[in-house]
Structure 1
Amino acid sequence: MRRVLAPALVGLLLAGTASRAQDRYVPSTVAFGGGQRYSRPPVVPCPPFGVGPYTPGVPSMPGVPVDPNAPRMDPPVAPPGTDPIMPPEAPAPNPLERRLLDPFAQATEAGGVAPRTFNENFDGDFGGVYYKRRITTGYTIVPQVVGFTQRVTGYTPVTTTTQVIGTDQLGRLVVTNTVTTTNNPIIVNDPVTVNTLVAQQRIARLTLAGRYSGVLISDNDNPRPQDRIYGGYNFYDNIGGSLNPGLGQTDLQRETVGFEKTFLNGDASFGMRLPFVQQYGPPGVGGTQNVGDLSLLFKYAFYNNRETGDLISGGLILTVPTGSGDATLLDGTKAPHSVLFQPWGGFVRTFDRTFVQGITSLIVPTSSSDPTLWNNSVGVGYYLYRTTANNTWLTSVAPVVEVHVRTPLTQRNPDGLVYLQDQVNITSGFRFRFNRASFSTSIGVPVTGPRPWGVEAMSFFNYSF
């Protein structure tokens, strides 16, 4: 039925437009939509061929007198570049009226009435880098000897015999034995002990809240310059669990706020992004809440086909170490906190309801202790539902599948102080558009080991202005 109705409506609209193009209108006194209604003027005779332009007081036709005070009845000629149907003094139709005249008209990507969307944002997948640290997982009570006390538990008798040799009155030799008994005390040394809390420590590889967090171009973003403000939420279940067996459940969550503004007629944009990170887990791991590093984003579209939505662009993300939080590594040094330079390039290719987009980027830190990271992401989406109707609150629904490959070029040794493993992560979810706003919800799962986390849940909100 839709296939029949659509050509019929198009034919009617074209026929109506053609018939209106043959008429010429002048203002009347009846208001219409805040403007003026236009009606057919009285028919006046056309001057014969060769008669010059109209001059007040001079007859348009030979032999016909003209009153110079009478209103001019010749229809005005529209200047070049204006609508020949709508007089220059008439107010321009608003976007809604234009939309009613052309049901297939599309607004710009930045906003307007029911904007056409060529592609949706990536959601992202990256959780951070792992740093080797000695952490305190708890305390145990250990008795400690701090001294001794003495006490007598009894006595030991000791008998001593003393022999005295002498002479008696007759001068004879006399030997006398004297027996003496002495009680010697038995002394015992009793230790003096106190209970001391002794820290239980272990070596663990943990992410640092705010480092390498929310910095990728594929985090709630895409290659197309946009006008928007946005916020997002990421949750990483059991992050680093495979690297720290027996440590316990460790979770990380991140909130992100930012904006992006286009310039150069929409071919370039500048934006800023700031994450807030919290880490939860056993003692020594959980209870960490930090403000992440600020990222400055630059985009430029080298090729931007506004009719098809195809695009090729590039840019730079500069992440500066403004975030809070610090840590001491296993060797006693401070964890690196680099400035991150991230040049990137990307494309968007559209096929009616389907779009494909890709991004490649290279993160280069200023400290050699931090990893240099090569990132490649590809996303495919399909619009299950899309409309340009003005009275519809939901304008599109699109499922999207993303594949992210993270390849560290340095710090690949799992026994090093800083470590990042190769990752292949798949993210899938839905994108919902509501005219100027959009909302996404997705799940990310690592498919290679050691798994950097169990599962990631994320959602983002964008508002176009």
Structure 2
Amino acid sequence: MQLRMKTAVLAFSLLPAAAQAQPLDRLPASFISVFEQEAQPKQPPVVPKQPDPKLPDPKLPDPKTPSPVDRLLPPEFGRLTEAGGFAARSYNENFDGDNIGGFYRRTVVVGYDPVTVPTGFTQQIVGTTQRQVGTTPRVIGFNRTIVISQEGGSGGSGQPIVITTPVVVQDPVFVLDPVIATTQTTGTVYVPRTAQVLLPAASRYSGIQITDNDSPRPTDRLYFGYQFYSNAGYSLNPDTGGSDVQRQMAGFEYTLLDGDASIGMRLPYIQQYGPVGYASQTVGDLSVLFKYAFYNDLETGNLASAGLVVTTPTGGGGGDVILLDGSAAPHSTLFQPWLGFVRMFDAGYVQGITNLIVPTDSRDPTVYGASLGVGYFAYQNPTGILTGVIPRAEVHLRTPFNQRDPNGLVYFPDQVNVNGGLTLRFGRTALNAGVSVPVVGPRPWAVEAMSFLNVSF
């Protein structure tokens, strides 16, 4: 008995301090058996302390405290994937966009001038003239001649003989000829007045930017947009003015690879108003968009992605857009590689895109673009009808590598455009409204107003 007791005391003395501080229920079972039997008197078993039901368990998170992802994105903003993570969804709102496209030098009708021209002749009788056309005999009397026969003549008796002869005169015969006056008639015709102008062609470089109602993040959505450009080209044509342009655009985007990639299409429809003979209604070029997020943190919403936009020359206004030299305006296939990022914060985000538009026809401009946008979740209510209010601001840089001469047939000016807008969210539906103003001259247009409807699925 004493030997076993000594052994237990020796083992206890060799335990580390951390082990000594542990409660008995965490010591090895063999040691507890020896200790209870030999080293200590019998004691009642230790009952673990029960947590106070009025206090939250310190080991479990407070269910009322949302996680960072929950704070940024209520469930209405996205959906879970089969793997359990969040699919591509609107952690951030889309860019609104800005670009109206290149300008093409053309001869257009800017008005009509009245001109008086002869249209024919009229004749009018203004009097008569008398003209003799012959004579008419007329008896005006008779002449009597007495002839005395000679005596001795046969049967003569010497008596006088009277011979009567008529006296005839010739009366002239006249006719009246009319006097006709011939008068030239004239009329007014309107001759077109032409001018050389630089104005956008509606079917060119329209609705193609990756920043046109889009973002670096792959999403599942259907969308429709409306944009109005006021007085496009007015600073390039001070004598003739500019052209108003309206554009509607419909499209879709569908995610692949568990939300890390997407494919989409968009098609614009454009109405242009301006000088006579220049106004048009045109279906624009179809664009096909590809995205891939090579870095996609579903917990924070941070993302880096790359993609390609291919714009096909399927729109109207092909060969009928005639340049000043009589040639048809170029209508290229456009390849647009791009890189983008999204950085999320507790109540806001920053996103950026850089892109390069490369045409297949060298007469079209090659354009470099860079865009930066910020947004702030000013209001969020996942259970209400209005689930979010997000004010936004953007700046867009567009600079061409060629076609920089304003006297050329094709011209693309340097652009710096500043946008401001607001997004209202209603569950999976987002309604954007904003304006864009160029701040570098020559200003391609005066002001752009825009609105977009995005429906996530």
Among 285, 297, 306, the alignment partner of 1:314 is: 306
Residue identity matched to 1:238: N
Task: Please give the alpha-carbon distance, in whole angstroms, between the structure 1 residues aligned to 2:263 and 2:105.
Answer: 36
* Aligned counterparts of 1:226 and 1:117: Cα–Cα separation in 2: 7
Task: Assess if the C-alpha contact under 8 Å between 1:111 and 1:464 holds in 2.
Answer: no
Is 1:293 the counterpart of 2:293 in the alignment?
A: no
Mapped pair 1:394 → 2:386: yes
Q: Which residue of 1 aligns with 2:206?
A: 213
* Map of 1:143 onto structure 2: 116
1:379 aligns with 2:373: yes
Kindly indicate whether the alpha-carbon contact (under 8 Å) linking 2:199 and 2:243 is maintained by their aligned counterparts in 1. no
Q: Where in structure 2 are the equivalents of 1:32-431 lying within 5 Å?
A: 104=67, 107=75, 110-111=78-79, 117-144=90-117, 193-248=186-241, 250-286=243-279, 288-325=280-317, 326-387=320-381, 389=382, 391-431=383-423
Post-superposition offset of 1:128: 1.6
Q: What residue number does 2:445 align with?
A: 453
Shift of 1:200: 0.8
How many residues are matched?
Answer: 341
Q: Deviation digits for residues 334-381 of structure 1, max 9, x if unmatched?
A: 111110000000001111112111000000011111100001000011
Q: For 1:14 and 1:277, how far apart are their aligned partners in 2?
A: 61
Q: How much has 1:148 moved relative to structure 2? A: 8.7
Q: Secondary structure at the match of 1:265?
A: helix
Residue in 2 that maps onto 1:68: none
Q: Distance in 2 between matches of 1:146 and 1:289?
A: 37
| Structure-2 change in CA distance of 1:269 and 1:109 (3 Å) | farther
Per the alignment, in what secondary structure is the counterpart of residue 217 of structure 2? coil
Displacement of 1:143 in angstroms is: 2.5
- In 2 relative to 1, CA 225–306 (structure 1 residues): closer, same or farther, beyond 3 Å? same
Q: Which moved more, 1:327-336 or 1:238-247?
A: 238-247
Alignment check: 8 A CA contact 1:429 1:443 kept: yes
Is the contact between residue 378 and residue 404 of structure 1 (CA under 8 Å) also seen in structure 2? Answer: yes
CA contact (8 A) 1:299 1:316 kept: yes
Task: State the secondary structure of the residue aligned to 2:235.
Answer: helix
Please give the alpha-carbon distance, in whole angstroms, between the structure 2 residues aligned to 1:120 and 1:289.
31
Determine the C-alpha separation between the residues in 2 that align with 1:332 and 1:249.
22
> Structure 2 counterpart of 1:139, which letter?
Y
CA distance in 1, matches of 2:281, 2:415: 26
Q: What's the CA shift for 1:141?
A: 2.6
Give yes or no for contact 2:386–2:427 (8 Å, CA) kept in 1: yes
Cα 1:16–1:101, aligned 2, differ >3 Å: closer, same or farther?
Answer: farther
Q: Partner amino acid for 2:432?
A: S
SS of corresponding position for 1:123: coil
Are the equivalent residues in 2 in contact too, given 1:239–1:252 (CA < 8 A)?
A: yes
Task: Tell me, in whole angstroms, the C-alpha distance in 2 between the residues paired with 1:12 and 1:206.
Answer: 74
Letter in 2 for 1:290: T
Counterparts in 2 of 1:422 and 1:266: CA distance versus 1, 3 Å: same
Provide Cα deviations, 1:86-112, integer angstroms capped at 9, x if missing partner. Answer: xxxxxxxxxxxxxx9986555496447
State TM-score, norm by structure 1: 0.67
Alpha-carbon distance in structure 2 between the residues aligned to 1:142 and 1:285 = 23
Question: Any idea what the Cα deviations from partners look like across 1:154-194, whole Å, max 9, x if unmatched?
Answer: xxxxxxxxxxxxxxxxxxxxxxxxxxxxxxxxxx9976655
Structure 1 residue 147 displacement after superposition? 8.3
State the shift of 1:248 in Å.
3.9
Higher mean alpha-carbon deviation, 313-322 vs 133-142, is at 133-142
The aligned counterpart of 2:145 is none
Partner of 1:67: none
- Distance, in Å, in 1 between the alignment partners of 2:267 and 2:79 is 24
Specify whether residues 190 and 346 from structure 1 end up closer, same or farther in structure 2 by C-alpha distance, changes over 3 A only. Answer: same
Letter in 2 for 1:131: Y
Q: Structure 1 residues 315 and 249 mapped into 2: Cα distance closer, same or farther (>3 Å)? A: closer
> CA 1:133–1:262 in 2, change beyond 3 Å: closer, same or farther?
same
Distance of aligned partners of 1:356 and 1:101 in 2 relative to their CA distance in 1, 3 Å threshold: closer
Closer/same/farther in 2, CA of residues 251 and 152 from structure 1, 3 Å limit? same
Q: How far off is 1:15 after superposition?
A: 4.3
Contact 2:105 2:324 in 1 (8 A): yes
Distance 1:339 1:376 in 2: 21
**In the alignment, residue 458 of structure 1 is paired with which amino acid?**
M
Quote the offset at 1:317 in angstroms: 0.2
Whole-Å Cα distance in 1 between the matches of residues 90 and 437 of structure 2?
27
Residue 254 of structure 1 and its aligned partner are, at CA, apart by 0.5
Q: Which amino acid aligns with 2:191?
A: V
TM-score scaled to structure 2, two decimals?
Answer: 0.68
CA contact (8 A) 1:110 1:227 kept: no
Q: Is the 8 A contact 1:110 1:226 kept in 2?
A: no
Query: How far 1:136 sits from its partner (Å)?
Result: 1.1
After superposition, the Cα gap between the structure-2 partners of 1:247 and 1:349, relative to the gap in structure 1 and judged at 3 Å, is same
Show the counterpart of 1:86.
none
Distance 1:307 1:220 in 2: 25
